[in-house]
Copies of this chain bind each other. A is one copy, B any other.
């Protein structure tokens, strides 16, 4: 049980539900493999099953949720080494590319924002706050990528993060928050300041590479 009010902000209900489910998936609140139902989700969020259907359709299309063709029951895709390998490969290609494209457009405002977000990442790590870490880390990367002016690639990257979310949670569950202290954010920001596209590309590639290595170890350890 969670919210009760429809949160009549200004967004459509199904978008709010989408965001709520997205967070639930990324932060691992929905355990991989277990089945959930539209009506239960709807009741939990205090809305009718209708907008939940819409949000779920979207998440299924983005592969953040999987739907059993026989049961038609839906669940979070299970975490396999194979899936992780493919997602890693895709991220390692697309995200450094986005960073490189963003470098020429990096201005003072962006760097300021990135410094703030990086500080939030460090804070979350120091406190061991998993959710805060994942949010801040996500925001750091996408504040950067958004400057690449490459909408198609940006959307692809977004989809990949959504799919990799549950894996990140596993890292924390198995090796703890300490495992992730060293990021390459500072390195990336240095390169951005100098409008060094290749430097930014390398920094982000290294950042991702290290993170994905930890995930791989965590997944293998769990098998």
Listed in ascending order, the chain A residues whose CB lies under 8 Å from chain B are 53-54, 57-58, 60-63, 83, 86-87, 89-90, 93-94, 97, 150-153, 155-156, 163
Find out whether the CB atom of B83 lies under 8 angstroms from the CB atom of A152. yes
Number of copies of this protein chain within its complex: 2
**Residues on the B chain within 8 Å of A63, using CB:** 152, 155
Q: How far is B152's CA from A87's CA once the two chains are assembled, in angstroms?
A: 7
Find out whether the CB atom of B156 lies under 8 angstroms from the CB atom of A152. no
**Residues on the B chain within 8 Å of A54, using CB:** 53, 57
List 28 A-B residue pairs with CB atoms under 8 Å apart, sorted by A's residue number. Answer: A53-B54, A54-B57, A57-B57, A57-B58, A57-B61, A58-B58, A58-B60, A58-B61, A61-B61, A61-B62, A63-B152, A63-B155, A83-B151, A83-B152, A86-B150, A86-B151, A86-B152, A86-B153, A87-B152, A89-B97, A89-B153, A90-B94, A90-B152, A90-B153, A90-B156, A93-B93, A152-B163, A156-B156
Q: How far is B61's CA from A60's CA once the two chains are assembled, in angstroms?
A: 9
Q: How far is B60's CA from A83's CA once the two chains are assembled, in angstroms?
A: 24
Q: How far is B152's CA from A62's CA once the two chains are assembled, in angstroms?
A: 11
**Residues on the B chain within 8 Å of A152, using CB:** 63, 83, 86-87, 90, 163
Give the secondary structure class of A's interface: helix
Closest to A86 in B: B152
**CB of A128, distance to nearest CB on chain B (Å):** 31
**CB of A12, distance to nearest CB on chain B (Å):** 9
**Residues on the B chain within 8 Å of A89, using CB:** 97, 153
Q: How far is B90's CA from A93's CA once the two chains are assembled, in angstroms?
A: 9
Q: How far is B77's CA from A47's CA once the two chains are assembled, in angstroms?
A: 31
Q: How far is B61's CA from A153's CA once the two chains are assembled, in angstroms?
A: 14
**CB of A66, distance to nearest CB on chain B (Å):** 10
**Residues on the B chain within 8 Å of A53, using CB:** 54
Closest to A59 in B: B61
